[in-house]
Amino acid sequence: MFEDLINKFDAALRKLKGQGKITENNIDESLREVRRVLFDADVNYKVVTNFIKDVKEKSLGKNVINSITPGQLIVKIINDELIRLMGSEKSDLKLSNSIPSVIMLAGLQGSGKTTFAAKLASNLKSKGRNPILVACDVYRPAAIEQLKILGHEIAVPVFSADDEKDVIKITGSALEFARKNARDTMIIDTAGRLAIDELLMREVENIKNFAKPDEILFVVDSMTGQDAVNTAKAFHDKLDYSGIVLTKLDGDTKGGAALSIRAVVEKPIKFISIGEKLDAIDQFHPDRMASRILGMGDIVSFVEKAHQEIDIKESEKLEDKLRKNKFDFNDFLNQIKQIKKMGSINSLLSMIPGASKAMKNSEVDEKVFVRIEAIILSMTNKERDNPNILNGMRRRRIAEGSGTSIQEVNRLLKQFDDMKKMMKGFSSGKMKSLLKGMKLPPGMPNDLKFN
């Protein structure tokens, strides 16, 4: 996420961090670089101008305390201004006590509305809500079928009227169905167009006036940069929506939309979508996003993900096994599966301060884990429990069964043995701190490389 923006910010602020004294000249020089970085990221011109002006004013007026350097102080000011620019604090979804609470999604075709509708339904379901999806995109071929497939995946019903083209009638029938079936949250997926037109705007206005939604979310493809901001403003002028959703943040996103859109339309970013999986949705936190952009990671989100996905009891059992030197390939396979549940390895690394920089912006090959799993699954239960019995004949069979080479099997066995030795060296206190503090699955080798 924002890899290019992060790298450029890091380069621009490197000189600033080394400054021993704040002067107007060195502030101007550093902010000139920051301005260039923001323009390269396709941030709105007025937003950039005001941002630079505010940072300069606050930097010149600050007294430097003994505990930090002038450069660190200015970086903190930039961080604070980025947070303010993106909304200062998280904005929660507005849900009413009536049945159903209505959430309406609007945006251009291709922005990711339908997929986000399913992601939001899944997210709300995990929090105890009882959602229903409503298919009001009656124009795009297969749009209704797409929503039905996604609804089936997350076990959330989809209300549709295949032969009906009147979206008001569909919405009315959906409201009645939701009330009769105790569906407390109704998410309306509306139609989009390739460009803004009068028919699109009139239709979403009609749905808004009829359904009186508690929340109207404008869904925007963040990869469209400044165009996303212009579209957001046009929709806001007609709909006066209550929040923004940024999708496709895991793609080749410059960052301009995330940094501009809140300031231009003065409505909060409520969610971000960072992958294709239906659990790849996060509430937007301005402070965490600013931290990522400045290359400081997002360790809070990392720990939250770990808390959600890692089984604490399993971790405690693992700690006991490691102490008794009984860690085997079944345990290792389980740890890989728990890590994968947290999301892609690259997205996890982006949350760890300094990890991306240490990796020198190289991508981790996710297929590595597929090949490791294939090797382990090609072992018998007896072999997984006791890797010491893996002689040459057994290794050859495992390589053939997993579609890998004997060299790859040998490499994994060597790394597994090294990992066990390393883990044996952990004291009980250190292991408890690792598992209960961070909930991180231990023992992932750093040098797994398969040809």
The CA distance from 291 to 6, in Å, is: 10
Question: Dihedrals φ, ψ of 197, to 5°?
Answer: -145, 170
Task: Say which residues have a Cβ less than 8 Å from residue 90's Cβ, sequence separation at least 6.
Answer: 283, 284, 285, 286
- pLDDT tens for residues 329-374? 887 777 777 666 655 555 555 555 544 554 444 455 566 778 888 8
Residue 61 placed within a domain: yes
Structural domain including 113 reads: 101-296
Element (H, E) at 373: helix 367-377
The CA distance from 32 to 34, in Å, is: 5
Same domain (yes/no): 414, 332: yes
Q: What is the CATH number of the domain that holds 267?
A: 3.40.50.300
Cβ-contact 404, 376 below 8 angstroms: no
Same domain (yes/no): 227, 201: yes
Same domain (yes/no): 147, 188: yes
Residue 448 placed within a domain: no
Q: What pLDDT, on a 0 to 100 scale, did the predictor assign at position 80?
A: 85
Q: What pLDDT, on a 0 to 100 scale, did the predictor assign at position 203?
A: 86
Q: What pLDDT, on a 0 to 100 scale, did the predictor assign at position 318?
A: 59
Q: Could you give the number of structural domains in the chain?
A: 3
Residues in the chain: 451
CA angle 5, 248, 339 (to 5 degrees): 90
CA nearest to 241, candidates 261, 221, 225: 261
Domain boundary among 21, 51, 85: 85
Same domain (yes/no): 152, 284: yes
Q: What pLDDT, on a 0 to 100 scale, did the predictor assign at position 47?
A: 85
pLDDT, one tens digit for every residue, the chain (451 residues): 566 677 777 777 776 665 556 667 777 777 888 888 888 877 888 888 888 888 888 877 655 544 456 666 777 788 888 888 888 888 888 888 888 999 999 988 888 889 999 999 999 998 889 999 999 888 877 888 999 999 999 999 999 887 788 889 999 999 999 999 989 999 999 888 766 778 888 888 899 999 899 999 999 887 776 777 788 888 888 888 999 998 887 665 566 777 788 888 888 889 988 777 888 888 888 888 777 777 654 444 444 555 555 555 665 665 566 556 667 788 777 777 766 665 555 555 555 554 455 444 445 556 677 888 889 999 998 998 888 898 999 999 999 998 989 998 998 888 887 777 666 554 444 444 444 443 333 334 344 333 3
3-state secondary structure of 158: strand
3-state secondary structure of 272: strand
Q: What is the CATH number of the domain that holds 44?
A: 1.20.120.140
Decide: residue 221, CB within 10 A, 0-12 exposed, 13-18 middle, 19+ buried. buried
The CA distance from 367 to 373, in Å, is: 10
The CA distance from 95 to 93, in Å, is: 6
Q: What pLDDT, on a 0 to 100 scale, did the predictor assign at position 434?
A: 43
Q: What is the CATH number of the domain that holds 419?
A: 1.10.260.30
What DSSP state is assigned to residue 132? E
Same domain (yes/no): 311, 264: no
Q: What pLDDT, on a 0 to 100 scale, did the predictor assign at position 31?
A: 81
Residue 246 placed within a domain: yes
Q: What pLDDT, on a 0 to 100 scale, did the predictor assign at position 291?
A: 77
Cβ-contact 267, 303 below 8 angstroms: no
Q: How far apart are the first and last CA of the chain?
A: 27
The CA distance from 302 to 343, in Å, is: 10
Domain boundary among 296, 328, 359: 296
Q: What pLDDT, on a 0 to 100 scale, did the predictor assign at position 162?
A: 75
Domain boundary among 255, 278, 296: 296
The CA distance from 114 to 232, in Å, is: 18
What DSSP state is assigned to residue 92? P
